Amino acid sequence: MSVLKIVKYPASILKQRVSPVKNFNSELKNIVRDMFETMYAYNGIGLAANQVGIELAIVLVDISKVEKNLMPLVLINPKILSYSRQKKMEEEGCLSFPGYYEKILRSKTVVVSYYDINGNKKEIRAEGLFARVLQHEIDHINGITFIKRLPLNKRIRFHILHSLGKYKF
């Protein structure tokens, strides 16, 4: 097991759509183990594989510190099947943007399909923080960072300040 290096913005791998997992083998299990170790080492509540330089559709979520009844979850090839019309603004951070936090508008609930680590197809309905983290992480594997979800004025402000060297990611 090893803690992997977190890829920081503006690395190009964060802007790429990754490939689906095809083989549910021991290599996949090793990747997932390393991803968990990495997420916990950085106190993250979610992690996408391209954030550790792996171009595969793997997402981890663990919000058990906040929602004690929700176990850590591995989602392989996840897809959001539906978004609630009701949305909510909440502050988000990202391990690829250390120290940067912004309020992001997200759907309150989502329905997600995915495969578990053994290749079994699953579907879940998530709400609240769980739904928010899933949307954030599934965006990652589609090459979308949370900056893209900011309103235009805030996004422009971010890009200007970033180009001026305000953020040290």
Which chain residues interact with Co ion by CB under 5 A?
94
Position of minimal CB gap to Co ion: 94
Residues 6+ away with beta carbon under 8 Å from 1? 33, 34, 37
CB of 99 to Co ion, least distance (A): 13
> What is the DSSP pairing of strand 121-127 with strand 109-115?
antiparallel
CB of 2 to Co ion, least distance (A): 20
CB of 96 to Co ion, least distance (A): 5
Task: Name the residue nearer to Co ion (CB basis): 28 or 94.
Answer: 94
Task: Name the residue nearer to Co ion (CB basis): 51 or 77.
Answer: 51
Task: Name the residue nearer to Co ion (CB basis): 12 or 69.
Answer: 12
- List the Cα angle 100/74/10 in 5-degree steps: 30
Q: How far is Cα 77 from Cα 116, in angstroms, rounded to an integer?
A: 9
CB of 118 to Co ion, least distance (A): 26
Per-position DSSP letters for 41-57, written without gaps between them = HTT-SEEEGGGGT--B-
11: which DSSP letter? Answer: -
137: annotated active-site residue: yes
> Under a CB-based contact definition with an 8 Å cutoff, are residues 25 and 58 in contact?
no
Task: Name the residue nearer to Co ion (CB basis): 94 or 147.
Answer: 94
Residues carrying an active site annotation: 137
